[in-house]
């Protein structure tokens, strides 16, 4: 099988770049989700602190209402003191008044405690709001950057796909089939350049006889170790190391 290495090397370049672009495309939505989560967490903290404040205010109102009711009751008892006929009734009323007054004291202490707690909650609201304000700008910027990257990767992927489509009809069918089969098996890299006398992908030494055949480009030579199509190159190319689980 004669092979046009230029075309098939170009095909591998396109496939590699398309894979890189799709990795970017797959990764970005997750990153955007993480940012949205941070934004949600920030506003939840603010909402929670505000919720605490309204609970605090409601509790204070309830306590104040209770105090008011008991004080009204005490006033009523005091009026009754003038109307009672017996000592026993009088003593009993005094005891009621004393107990009610004790309740008022306890409730008023609770109101003060709630007021002090409100100061802490106020600080919590301030801190949460401040954090939200600080994060908001940088998170929005991060999102814009990611949106931009996403668009770039989409455009790049589309351009590469077009190039690939244009290239495919120029490559003989059986070479294409060999390339595709190897690409599936070899984690995306069907070709491996020979640099010096080594297969660049698996670092296996290539026998001298094979080296000559590869240089002459007379037929397809597969690496005896990793099975990739070997091609001759004089310039050192950046080669991604082979993934460990690929073989």
- Span from 1-9, 108-116, 165-173, 202-210 in contact with Zn ion (CB under 5 A): 202-210
220 touches Zn ion (CB under 5 A): no
Does position 202 interact with Zn ion (CB under 5 A)? The reply is yes
The angle at the Cα of 95, spanning 93 to 100, to the nearest 5 degrees, equals 95
We find the least distance from the C-beta atom of residue 197 to Zn ion, in angstroms, to be 12
Q: How far is the CB of 222 from Zn ion (least distance, A)?
A: 8
- Interface segment toward Zn ion; rule CB under 5 A; list 1-9, 15-23, 58-66, 223-231: 223-231
Rounded to whole angstroms, the Cα distance separating 66 from 71 reads 9
Interaction between residue 221 and Zn ion (CB under 5 A): no
Least distance to Zn ion, CB of residue 218, Å:
20
CA 12/CA 193 separation, integer angstroms: 11
Q: Least separation, in Å, of the C-beta of 207 and Zn ion?
A: 12
Out of 226, 229, 231, 242, name the contact with Zn ion by CB under 5 A.
Answer: 226
- Using CB under 5 A as the binding criterion, the count of chain residues that bind Zn ion stands at 7
Between 114 and 242, CB nearer to Zn ion: 242
CA–CA dist 205, 71 (Å, integer) = 99
Confirm or reject binding of residue 206 to Zn ion (CB under 5 A): no
∠ at Cα 235 (229, 240), nearest 5°? 55
| Distances, alpha carbon 156 to alpha carbons 26, 190, 241, in Å | 14, 22, 24
Q: Could you say whether residue 191 binds Zn ion (CB under 5 A)?
A: no
Binding flag, residue 190, Zn ion (CB under 5 A): no
Asked if 107 interacts with Zn ion (CB under 5 A), we say no
Rg (CA), the chain: 40
Phi/psi region, residue 240 (left: phi>0; alpha: psi -120 to 50; beta: rest), is: beta
Q: How far apart are CA 20 and CA 139, in angstroms?
A: 25
Q: Which of 74, 128, 153, 199 is in the footprint of Zn ion by CB under 5 A?
A: 199
Q: Give CA–CA dist 169/228, Å, rounded.
A: 22
Residue 53 has which token pair? 């404040």
The first and second tokens of residue 238, run together, are 């950046």
Note whether 225 binds Zn ion by CB under 5 A: yes
Residues engaged in binding Zn ion (CB under 5 A):
199, 201-202, 204, 223, 225-226
């Amino acid at each position: 099988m004669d092979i046009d290495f230029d075309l098939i090397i170009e095909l591998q370049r396109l496939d590699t770049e398309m894979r890189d672009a799709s990795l970017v495309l797959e990764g970005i939505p997750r990153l955007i989700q993480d940012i949205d989560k941070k934004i949600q967490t920030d506003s939840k903290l603010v909402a929670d602190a505000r919720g605490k404040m309204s609970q605090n205010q409601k509790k204070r109102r309830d306590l104040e209402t209770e105090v008011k009711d008991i004080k009204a009751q005490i006033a009523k008892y005091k009026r009754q003191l003038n109307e009672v006929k017996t000592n026993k009734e009088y003593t009993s009323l005094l005891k009621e008044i004393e107990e009610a007054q004790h309740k008022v004291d306890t409730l008023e202490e609770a109101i003060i405690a709630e007021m002090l707690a409100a100061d802490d909650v106020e600080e919590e609201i301030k801190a949460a709001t401040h954090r939200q304000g600080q994060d908001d700008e940088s998170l929005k910027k991060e999102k814009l950057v990611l949106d931009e990257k996403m668009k770039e990767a989409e455009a790049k992927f589309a351009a590469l796909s077009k190039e690939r489509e244009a290239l495919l009809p120029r490559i003989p069918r059986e070479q294409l089939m060999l390339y595709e089969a190897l690409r599936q098996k070899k984690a995306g890299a069907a070709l491996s350049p020979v640099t010096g006398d080594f297969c660049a992908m698996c670092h296996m030494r290539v026998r001298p006889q094979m080296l000559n055949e590869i240089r002459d480009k007379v037929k397809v030579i597969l690496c005896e170790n990793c099975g990739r199509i070997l091609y001759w190159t004089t310039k050192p190319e950046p080669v991604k190391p082979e993934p460990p689980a690929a073989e």
